[in-house]
Chain A
């Protein structure tokens, strides 16, 4: 092994996980419905967390609160130092009347990212051919790809994805998988999904929510058998 490679390995070994986002005692209700019940969770850098749970378990609400787009009734969210957040949901968070390129250019500029990232994102997410089309003219799947490009383009330290695969074809899921696998020690990814089979390979941790509380957690940087056990148990209980 060359010296340079050895020093990289030593660097990785020495790296201690850092909490990127810590949610403490979060509670949230919509009218009489209690969605989150004093939920506490911590996400570390380098993690790719699958957030599982039945409809109404509180996955989307938790992600919106972590992103700062929704306020909890009680409890708090503490971000790691200098953490920036990228958030994907079915709302897209883009302007329908702007073209894909105009949207990405806008978000790239306001986030202060390098313009080279824009060209790279268009290519990586297979959007070059539709870059000049307005977002409302695109299919749901292409819209989702454009929104995912927006999220990853600015390289946020916390990536929150709410049902990212719901409109994606297999090719697009492969692109997402590559983006999630891209090694980054200064980033954590939380993916709320029902599409377990297509995303289980990229997960380094699995958390199951049930009626607003954590029902199961494979633990930080869990081994593959532990992750599989939590997923299998979840699938079994939801049969």
Chain B
């Protein structure tokens, strides 16, 4: 069986396990909605000037997105710890890199869907019209989701069996996610205020570079992280 076919098989397994339990997706969505509602209530367009709201919208969007994702991701490793299925896979010849890639693909998909829901939710709460930049924002969300998933999947593996993994993952990941956060905020600001990215903007490069770096480290270190 080829290397990529194994990754594909593991993706199907990850998706199937998540669909049966719906624990991670539900927690992710609930956390997003709760944080978005709290932030939306605090920074309501009713009390802020429209221009100010447009300026703070990108920051709020990315803050809510990263917070909800990092506080929920510990749940995604529960299925592995429950029966220690990953040990069976390692013994069957699956490499840590294959497991890591499959997890990143499924987690990134969920993050991406969550990002789109959040965009719609916060845009409605803060009275922002995103229809003209929706497709570009969707691509930005997909790229950032891949970078975020690449980092938090590795950290979830490192935090592994620790009882504090729910706290450890946000603490460890948030400082490392600054490039993603700033790139996301800057590019969203450009999209909202200018209707497109600034010419010669370095932020897309920073976002892709950060994601690639997280991915490269994850592919190489994940197996060491999950072995006892």
Contacts and interface: CB of A to CB of B under 8 A. Distances in A.
Contacts of A85: 91
Contacts of B93: 84, 110-112
Measured as residues with beta carbon below 8 angstroms from the partner, the interface class of chain A is 20 to 34
Interface string B56-100: 000000000000000000000001001111011111111000000
B175 interface: no
A154 B93 CA distance: 11
Interface residues of B, number: 24
B94 A134 contact: no
A95 B79 contact: yes
A91 B84 contact: yes
B1 A69 contact: no
Interface string B92-134: 1110000000000000000000000000000000000000000
Contacts of A23: none
B17 interface: yes
Contact of A67 (B9, B89, B91): B91
Contact of A92 (B10, B79, B84): B84
B20 interface: yes
A7 to B, nearest CB: 34
Interface string A187-199: 0000000000000
Contact of A97 (B1, B17, B92, B228): B17
11 contacts: A85-B91, A92-B83, A93-B91, A95-B85, A96-B79, A98-B20, A102-B13, A109-B1, A110-B93, A110-B94, A111-B93
Interface of A: 64, 67-71, 84-87, 91-98, 102-103, 106-107, 109-112, 134-136, 150, 154, 156
Interface of B: 1, 6, 9-10, 13, 16-17, 20-21, 79, 82-85, 87-94, 227-228
